[in-house]
């Protein structure tokens, strides 16, 4: 049977794949694995959980199911309401909770939803802990009664604690900066405009009227056209966009040009490096980060450590080796000095702080790196187990020799489909397209079924 937990919690179409029954069962199992309710009985106190969600309509019934499962298991619950994932992570730590729960499907469309559990301190769970929760689903439990059941209370005011936290991380106010913020009709629709205004910016918010069904619909970090249009038409200095749960951020400069996660990390890394605050003069990125990013970091005297694709792998490497900045091209940026996970609002405030402190427009700041043309071909219906075949390896080696230092090749089997991804970067798009097409033909020949 396929693993229930994916790369970012349990996700699916709410009401079909992710039912109220499954949500309750997961919360009961998580209460015992993370809350360890039995161990708390001897101490005379109950474990505490914080629960947040994005504005999806299905989040209402899923929240009720999760809260019921936790309280029935003897866990006290603080219901945070609609907040970004990083806010829930921060409050898990700040309030001393034993576990956190976030209900969101991030950048997915409204019919989807998901459940993400956080451990003490606000960190994502390891694969081993997720496997333990999954293994204990449906286990027979002895539920508490009377005074042993968990109590539930609303803690919506804790949003201000999160806003205050991200504001304290800034080293420059944003007075005079005209910012357009796209909240994706998602979890940041209240806290992001409020934080930016309190930081001193002149703020125009779009995508900030969620109705439960319009999350990510034509807005947010996966749909930047509207933000680009508004920034240019209003003569704004900059635009920032979050996804549905606001754990990622992308930006738009005053000309409407997109500033992706690689450019944002390059700006932040060089700024921190210049202030002596970049731990070990190193930034952590995934194998999908543009070669232009790595070349720019080398030029700036900054090392780049690579991980597999996924912000959880970036975070694991950062924690293991003591780095404080890492992220992905998609806009997941982790600043471990201030947060335990990718935080779109924090990222945008830090980026805007660099603009404000330096007085340099984002377009000029982002020019610290030049992205090389990148071509990606998904070769479908192949045996992805043959992705390391000698014939393919030889073709890759030949292509790498041809590209030299100004290009690279990445062959990645899909984690969920019978597909192999061929990614090529080169000095020109024409060269990248030619090499990628040639390698895709080799994949079809060698790995075809």
Concatenate the DSSP letters of all residues of 333-369 into one string: EEETTT-SS--HHHHHHHHHHHHHHHT--HHHHHTTS
Are the CB atoms for 365 and 296 separated by under 8 Å? no
Instruction: Write phi, then psi, for 66 (nearest 5 degrees).
Output: -65, -45
The rounded distance, in Å, linking the Cα atoms of 83 and 67 is 16
CA dist., res. 245 & res. 86, Å (int) = 8
Maximum C-alpha span of the chain: 73
Q: Do the Cβ atoms of 133 and 116 come closer than 8 Å?
A: no
106 noted as active-site residue: yes
Assign 3-state DSSP to the chain and report helix, strand, coil percentages, each to 5: 40, 20, 35
Sheet containing 325-327: order of strands: 303-307, 282-286, 325-327, 333-335
Q: Which of 27, 58, 73, 106 is catalytic?
A: 106
Q: Which two structure tokens, joined as six digits, stand for 142?
A: 């002895």
**In this structure, what are the phi and psi dihedrals at residue 215, rounded to the nearest 5 degrees?**
-60, 130
Catalytic positions, please?
106
């Amino acid at each position: 049977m396929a693993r229930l937990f994916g790369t970012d919690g349990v996700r699916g179409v709410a009401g079909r794949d992710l039912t109220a029954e499954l949500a309750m069962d997961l919360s009961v199992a998580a209460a015992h694995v993370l809350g360890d309710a039995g161990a708390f009985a001897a101490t005379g106190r109950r474990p505490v959980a914080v629960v947040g969600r994005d504005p999806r309509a299905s989040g209402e019934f899923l929240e009720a199911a999760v809260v019921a499962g936790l309280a029935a298991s003897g866990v006290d619950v603080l219901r945070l309401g609609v907040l970004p994932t990083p806010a829930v992570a921060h409050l898990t730590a700040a309030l001393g909770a034993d576990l956190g729960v976030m209900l969101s499907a991030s950048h997915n469309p409204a019919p989807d939803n998901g459940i993400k559990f956080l451990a003490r301190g606000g960190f994502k769970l390891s694969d081993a802990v997720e496997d333990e929760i999954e293994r204990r689903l449906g286990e027979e439990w002895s539920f508490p009664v009377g005074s042993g059941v968990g109590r539930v209370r609303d803690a919506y005011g804790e949003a201000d604690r999160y806003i205050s936290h991200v504001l304290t991380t800034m080293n420059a106010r944003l007075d005079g900066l005209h910012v357009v913020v796209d909240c994706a009709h998602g979890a940041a629709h209240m806290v992001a405009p409020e934080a930016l205004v309190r930081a001193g910016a002149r703020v125009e918010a779009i995508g900030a009227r969620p109705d439960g069904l319009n999350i990510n619909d034509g807005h947010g970090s996966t749909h930047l056209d509207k933000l680009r249009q508004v920034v240019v038409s209003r003569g704004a200095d900059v635009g920032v966009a979050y996804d549905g749960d606001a754990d990622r951020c992308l930006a738009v400069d005053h000309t409407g040009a997109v500033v992706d996660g690689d450019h944002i990390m390059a700006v932040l890394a060089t700024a921190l490096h210049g202030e002596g605050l970049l731990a070990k003069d190193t930034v952590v990125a995934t194998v999908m980060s543009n070669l232009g990013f790595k070349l720019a970091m080398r030029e700036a005297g900054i090392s780049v450590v690579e991980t597999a694709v996924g912000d959880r792998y970036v975070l694991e490497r950062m924690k293991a080796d003591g780095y404080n900045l890492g992220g992905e091209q998609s806009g997941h940026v982790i600043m471990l000095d201030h947060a335990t996970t990718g935080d779109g609002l924090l990222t945008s405030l830090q980026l805007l702080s660099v603009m404000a402190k330096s007085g340099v427009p984002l377009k000029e700041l982002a020019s610290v790196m030049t992205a090389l043309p990148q071509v990606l071909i998904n070769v479908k219906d192949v045996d992805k187990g043959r992705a390391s075949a000698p014939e393919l390896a030889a073709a890759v080696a030949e292509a790498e020799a041809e590209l030299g230092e100004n290009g690279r090749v990445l062959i990645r089997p899909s984690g969920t489909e019978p597909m192999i991804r061929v990614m090529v970067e080169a000095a020109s798009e024409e060269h990248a397209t030619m090499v990628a097409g040639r390698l895709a033909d080799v994949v079809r020949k060698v790995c075809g079924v």
